[in-house]
Structure 1
Amino acid sequence: MSKLVIMGTVEVAPERRDQVLPLLMAHRARCLKDEPGTLRFEVLLPREGDSRILIHEVYQDDEAFEAHRNAPSRAQWLQETTGMDVKVIATRCSPVE
């Protein structure tokens, strides 16, 4: 089975981005450490300076992504950002190799 790439946008109020960013970075570190099928997890800030946070994730396959979705780190991140009005928009992609 082929790799799965997630291109995502985390939308957050401008005054909340500085609170959400370290939580997302901690989530990223846990995923890369504890989820063998998570191959890459990049967090990017647009140079335009808006309130979006972009994410680029690569998983070994669809099963690895489902494991990520059900992992304790994701549940922790969702709980930590409760009430911060965080919205994640993700697009599943297949890499062209």
Structure 2
Amino acid sequence: MLIQMVSITVKPGHLEEFLDAFRVNYEGTRKEPGNLRFDVLRDPEDDHKFVVYEVFRSPEALEAHRGTPHYSECVSRIDPIIEGPRTKQYYRPVMAEFMS
């Protein structure tokens, strides 16, 4: 299992455009067999900051995700309207390892 958290800051004046573009990725990713969870979270103190919480079955599932049409479309649409690059952090679950 692999967890990825992606931080994104949207340029002012582009929130609706971002949400429309990201919805494509959200809906497509949740249908992928290797995706276990995909949540888009908004900072309660800054409407322009988002964190995407993604859980994939494996690193290979994440790589497969990056090759999908919905991911490519989303990235091409949001890259011009975000501030700076998307930042990514990777995690592995702790408590889930004890549950079998």
What is the TM-score normalised by the length of structure 2? 0.83
1:10 aligns with 2:27: no
Q: Counterparts of 1:12 and 1:88 in 2: how far apart (Å)?
A: 10
Q: Which amino acid aligns with 1:73?
A: H
1:74 aligns with 2:65: no
Root mean square deviation of aligned Cα: 1.5
Structure 1: gaps spanning 5 or more residues: none
Q: Counterparts of 1:48 and 1:18 in 2: how far apart (Å)?
A: 18
Q: Counterparts of 1:83 and 1:22 in 2: how far apart (Å)?
A: 14
- Deviation digits for residues 48-87 of structure 1 (CA, Å, limit 9, x no counterpart): 0341111100000111001011111111112222422453
State the number of aligned residues: 94
Greater Cα offset, 58-67 or 73-82:
73-82
Matches within 5 A, 1:1-97: 3-33=1-31, 35-85=32-82, 87-97=85-95
Structure with higher Rg: it is: 2
Greater Cα offset, 58-67 or 86-95:
86-95
Q: Counterparts of 2:79 and 2:54 in 1: how far apart (Å)?
A: 22
Structure 2: gaps spanning 5 or more residues: 96-100
- Give the secondary structure class of the aligned counterpart of 1:15: coil
| Identity score, percent | 29
8 A Cα contact 1:39 1:58, kept in partner: yes
What is the TM-score normalised by the length of structure 1? 0.85
